[in-house]
Amino acid sequence: MIKKVNTIISPTWIYTADKNNTVLEDYSIVVKEDEILDIHPTKNVFDTYDANDVFVLSDHIITPGFINNHTHTAMSLFKGYANDLPLKSWLEDHIWPAEKKHVCEAFVKDGSLIAIAEMIKSGTTTFNDMYFYPSQTAEAAVEMGIRANIGLVVMDFPTNYASDPEDYLKKGFEFRDDWRNEELISTSIAPHAPYTNSDKTLSLISTYAEQLDLSIHTHLHETEDEVKNSIDQFKLTPIQRYNNLGLLGPNLVAAHCVHVDDQDLILLQQNNVNVVHNPSSNLILGSGIADIPKMLDLGINVTVGTDSSASNNRLDILEELRMAALLGKGLSKKPDIFDAKTALKMATYNAARSLNKSKIFGSIEVNKKADIVAINMDSIFSQPVYNPLSTLLYNANQGGVDYVWINGTLKLKAGQLHNIDLDRLKNIANSWKTKIKTT
Amino acid sequence: MIKKVNTIISPTWIYTADKNNTVLEDYSIVVKEDEILDIHPTKNVFDTYDANDVFVLSDHIITPGFINNHTHTAMSLFKGYANDLPLKSWLEDHIWPAEKKHVCEAFVKDGSLIAIAEMIKSGTTTFNDMYFYPSQTAEAAVEMGIRANIGLVVMDFPTNYASDPEDYLKKGFEFRDDWRNEELISTSIAPHAPYTNSDKTLSLISTYAEQLDLSIHTHLHETEDEVKNSIDQFKLTPIQRYNNLGLLGPNLVAAHCVHVDDQDLILLQQNNVNVVHNPSSNLILGSGIADIPKMLDLGINVTVGTDSSASNNRLDILEELRMAALLGKGLSKKPDIFDAKTALKMATYNAARSLNKSKIFGSIEVNKKADIVAINMDSIFSQPVYNPLSTLLYNANQGGVDYVWINGTLKLKAGQLHNIDLDRLKNIANSWKTKIKTT
C-alpha cells in the first residue's frame, strides 16, 4: 500500500553525517511532518510513497542543515561598521559605544532577522547564539522558522540589557520559562568570557548548569592577551580557572580556543569539552589561528562558527569549513589532513552533539528532524565533479545553496527565501544603517 | 554638442585603483570603442554624451577588471581530481601521470575555455598563464574575449608538449610570432621553476628576456623543500641562484615566495621583483603562508593569483583577496593592516604594473582600456553598507559580480555570460571528466 507523506526529495548524492559518514547515491529522503520518515532508493521510492511535494534534484548534493555554533546574530546591523581597526580601538572606540547607543529590543529583533535570512540562504538551519534581549532573538528565529539555541548571557558589568549578574540570570531564566514549549528554541547558559565574569559568578553558573542540565556557551582563549592577563591576575590560564570552578565538561561549548598550550589541551580533552572554531573571525580580529589538527588528533569534539557580522562579515558556514580545512592543511603542512568529511561533520553531527541534540538533528537519518540542505553542483564553478564531497567543500558557497528545509518546512526554494519578505529585511537594514551612521 | 559614444555606465561607487586609490561616488564611466573616454559626474553625463548602451547600476560598485596573476588555466579539467593528498603523491601519483595521459592541444583549449568562463563570471579580465600548448590557451582567450599574458614555458625535462629546453623555446617563440598582432594576447618567457630548470637554461632565458624586452613568469620559493634542496645542491637559495643568473629584476613575476628569509626578501626588494601571492593554493597544498605584510612594508610589488584549479578549486580573485587580507591580519596579529584598498590594488594596478601594462589597463582612468567590473552590493549578504570597499572585500564573491566589460565589450550581463554558450562548456567539462575518470 502506498503511504501518504509530505515531501520526497530525490538528489543525486546525500551526505548523511551518520556514524559512518556515509554518502548515498540515488537515494531519496521521505519527509513526514517534521521528521525524516525514510531514506529510500530513488528507483522505487514512488512505488512506496505518495508525496504532496516532490523535488527531483539531479544536480544536487544533500547535507544535513548546517549548525552555526557561535553567533551574535543581532550584530548583523554592525556588519562592516568598523573594519580594519586594532582590536582595542575596534571594541572600545566603536563596537561598545555603538552598542551602548543602539542596542535595545528592536535592534536585537531586527538584527537577528537579517542574520537569519543570511544564514538560511547559506544553508544554516540551527544557530547557537549569545547576545542581549534573548526574547527578541527567539522571536526572530520563530518568525523566520529557524532552530536556535539561545545563550542566557551573564556578565559582571552592566549593559543596556541588565545591571549585574543576578539581573542577567533573572532575565535569562524568565526567558527560558517563557519559551520552554517552543520546539525551535532551546537554551544554554552563557557566561560571556573569563575576563568579563568573576569567580563568584562562574561558580554560580556552574551550579545552575548542573542543576538544570543546561549546556554552557562561552568565549575561551580567544587572544594571547586574554591568557596572559589571566595568568597575571589569577596565576591560572582561563582554562585552568574554568576547570577549578567546575565549568569544564561535555556540556561546555567553548568558542575560539586559539591560544591553548598542551596542558590546557589535555584539560579540554579529558573533560570532553566542545570547541567552536571561528577561523575567519580569529583572522580578521588578528587573534591568530587555532590548532585544530592537534585538537582533532586528541579526539576533541570540534565544531564551527562564524562569530558575529561585526568580526566576520559573512555568516556562511561553507566558507568557514573551507577556511578551516585550508588553514588546517597550511599550518600543519599536511595537505592530506582535514578532508571534506572531517570538515562537514564539524558543521553537522559534531555541533548537534555539542548541544546535546544529536539524537534530534545534525544528520540525515530516519526519525531525525528534517533539517535538510540541497546544494547545486552543476555550475561552471563546480564542473567537472570527480568527488562530490570534495567539490562541495572546495567550490561551493552560498551561491550554490538552492533548497533548505527546517523541521520539515521549506524555507529556501530555488535559491529564494520562501514565504519571507526579503525586501522588508533590506529596508530594515537600511534604516538602521542611517540611524547608526548619523548618531 | 553631444558626443556619440558606445557605453555609459553609471554606478553608485567607482574604485579607480589610480595613484591615489580614489573612490568616486555618483560618477559615470564613458566608453568609446575599447577605451575609457571620460569619467564624468553622473548628474550631467547625459548632457555631454549620447551612448548606444546605458547601464544605470545604482546598487553597484565598479572596479577595474581583476588580474589573476598566476594561472594554469587548462588544468580546470583536473578541478577536484586529486584533493586531500600529500604533495608528493598528489604530483607524482596523480597530476603528472594524468598530464602525461591526457594533456594535448584539445585538453588545453577545452580546459582554458572552462577556466575563462569561471574567471569572467568572477570578475577577472586578464590572466597571467603558464602551461603547455600556448596557442590553444590564446585561442580560447580570444574566442572568449579575455585578455591573457601567456608564458612561454621552459623546462629541462620532456613533456607531451616539448622535448628539451631548445624545443620549448623554439615552440614558444613561434607562438609569440604567430600571435603578436592580437591585441588581447601578450607573452612572457616562463622558466617553470628553479628545480625544473638548469643554470644553463636559466642563463639563456635571462639573455632572451633582456634582448626581447620580455617579462619573466616563474614559480619561486613555493615550499620549504624547494629551498632546502636548492641549498643542498647549489649552496644557494633559489632566489640567490636566480640573482646570480641575472633573473631578478622588475620584469620578473615570481609566484608564491612562501618561504623567504630576510636576506632573500632584501634581494627581491632591491631588484624590484614582483611577487604573486596565491594564498589558497599555498594552504591547500600544505606549502604554508607567505609573509605578505612584511613584503608590503618593504615596498615590494605584491599581486595575487589563484594558481590552477588542481590546487585551488576556485578561480575567484575576490576570494583570494579576502583570504590574503585575513591571513595578513591573522598572522601579523594586526587587524588594522591590509585594508580593502591595499587588497584591491594587488589585483588591479599592481598586477598590471608587474606585467609592464599599467599604462594600458589595471585602473579606471581616462585613456585606459575599458576593462570594467560591476559588483552588486544590494544583497542581504552585503546590507547594510557602511563602507563600500570594505563590504566589497569582506562580503562579495563571484555571486555579486553582475557585469564585466573587457576591452570595451560586454562579457557578463546581469550575472550571465554574454554571447557565450555556457551549456556547451559544461558538456565539454563533463565529457573530459568521463574520459579522465575511466582511463
Domain chopping of chain B, boundaries: 3-63+369-417, 66-354
CB contact under 8 A, B395 and A313: yes
The mean per-residue pLDDT over the stretch B114-123 comes to: 98
What digits encode the pLDDT tens for the residues A202-225?
A: 999 999 999 999 999 999 999 999
- Report the residue count for chain A: 439
Give the model's pLDDT for residue A391.
94
Give the model's pLDDT for residue B88.
83
Predicted confidence band of residue A397 (pLDDT cuts 50, 70, 90):
confident
Q: Which of A90, A288, A313 sits opposite B333 (nearest CB)?
A: A288
How far does B81 lie from chain A, in Å, by closest CA? 6
How far does B214 lie from chain A, in Å, by closest CA? 33
Give B-chain residues touching A378 at CB under 8 angstroms: 426
Q: Which of B83, B390, B397 sits opposite A390 (nearest CB)?
A: B83
Give B-chain residues touching A80 at CB under 8 angstroms: 384-387, 390-391, 394-395
Question: In angstroms, what CA-CA distances link B231 with B220, B221, B252?
Answer: 14, 12, 22
What digits encode the pLDDT tens for the residues B162-171?
A: 999 999 999 9
CB contact under 8 A, A284 and B84: no
How high is the mean pLDDT of chain B? 96
* A152 Cβ contact list (under 8 Å, min separation 6): A134, A168, A169, A171, A172, A173, A175, A176, A187, A188, A189, A190
* CA A373 – CA A63 distance, rounded (Å): 5
Q: Which of A280, A335, A399 sits opposite B285 (nearest CB)?
A: A335
**CATH top-level class of B66-354:** alpha beta
A349 backbone dihedrals φ, ψ, rounded to 5°: -60, -50
Nearest to B360 by CA among B372, B350, B370: B370
What digits encode the pLDDT tens for the residues B332-360?
A: 999 999 999 999 999 999 999 999 999 99
Instruction: Inform me whether the C-beta atom of residue A387 falls under 8 Å from chain B C-beta atoms.
Output: yes
* CA B322 – CA A190 distance, rounded (Å): 31
Predicted confidence band of residue B91 (pLDDT cuts 50, 70, 90):
confident
Contact by Cβ (8 Å): B362, B64: yes
Predicted confidence band of residue B437 (pLDDT cuts 50, 70, 90):
confident
Q: Which of A80, A338, A422 sits opposite B380 (nearest CB)?
A: A422
Query: Which CATH code, of 3.40.1190.20, 2.30.40.10, 3.90.45.10, 3.40.50.1110, is assigned to B3-63+369-417?
Result: 2.30.40.10
Query: Is residue A408's pLDDT more than 80?
Result: yes
Instruction: Inform me whether the C-beta atom of residue B391 falls under 8 Å from chain A C-beta atoms.
Output: yes
Work out the percent of chain B whose per-residue pLDDT is above 90: 95
* CA A425 – CA A266 distance, rounded (Å): 45
Omega prior to A238 cis, within 30 of 0: no
| Cα A131–Cα A317–Cα A377 angle in degrees, nearest 5 | 155
Instruction: Inform me whether the C-beta atom of residue A24 falls under 8 Å from chain B C-beta atoms.
Output: no
Min mean pLDDT across A86-90, B97-101, B275-279 is at A86-90
Work out the percent of chain B whose per-residue pLDDT is above 70: 100
* CA B152 – CA A438 distance, rounded (Å): 56
Give the model's pLDDT for residue A291.
97
A126 backbone dihedrals φ, ψ, rounded to 5°: -145, 135
Residue B435 C-alpha from the chain's centroid: 29
What digits encode the pLDDT tens for the residues A51-78?
A: 999 999 999 999 999 999 999 999 999 9
CB contact under 8 A, A395 and B284: no
Q: Which of B329, B398, B433 sits opposite A399 (nearest CB)?
A: B398
Q: Which of A87, A313, A335 sits opposite B86 (nearest CB)?
A: A335
Query: Is residue B439's pLDDT more than 70?
Result: no
The mean per-residue pLDDT over the stretch B69-85 comes to: 94
Instruction: Inform me whether the C-beta atom of residue A380 falls under 8 Å from chain B C-beta atoms.
Output: yes
Instruction: Inform me whether the C-beta atom of residue B107 falls under 8 Å from chain A C-beta atoms.
Output: no
The mean per-residue pLDDT over the stretch B13-22 comes to: 97
Which of B79, B307, B338, B383 should one mutate to test binding to chain A, selecting the residue with the greatest count of A CBs within 10 A?
A: B383
- Provide the 10 A C-beta neighbour count for residue A32: 17
* A76 Cβ contact list (under 8 Å, min separation 6): A111, A112, A114, A115, A118, A308, A309, A315, A429
What is the 3-state composition of chain A as percent helix, strand, coil, each rounded to the nearest 5? 40, 25, 35
Question: How many inter-chain contacts (A to B, CB under 8 Å) are there?
Answer: 203
CB contact under 8 A, B329 and A286: yes
Contact by Cβ (8 Å): B96, B415: no
Give A-chain residues touching B87 at CB under 8 angstroms: 335
CB contact under 8 A, B395 and A426: no
What does the H/E/C string look like for chain B? CCEEEEEEEEEEEEECCCCCCCEEECEEEEEECCEEEEEEEHHHHHHHEEEEEEEEEEEEEEEECEEEEEECHHHHHHCCCCCCCCHHHHHHHHHHHHHHHHCCHHHHHHHHHHHHHHHHHCCEEEEEEEECCHHHHHHHHHHHCCEEEEEEEECCCCCCCCCCHHHHHHHHHHHHHHHCCCCCEEEEEEECCCCCCCHHHHHHHHHHHHHHCCEEEEEECCCHHHHHHHHHHHCCCHHHHHHHCCCCCCCEEEEECCCCCHHHHHHHHHCCCEEEECHHHHHHCCCCCCCHHHHHHCCCEEEECCCCCCCCCCCCHHHHHHHHHHHHHHHHCCCCCCCHHHHHHHCCHHHHHHCCCCCCCCCCCCCCECCEEEEECCCCCCCCCCCHHHHHHHHCCHHHEEEEEECCEEEEECCEECCCCHHHHHHHHHHHHHHHHHC
Q: Determine the CATH number of domain A3-63+371-417.
A: 2.30.40.10
Residue A187 exposure: Cα atoms within 13 Å on the Cβ side: 28
How far does A94 lie from chain B, in Å, by closest CA? 13
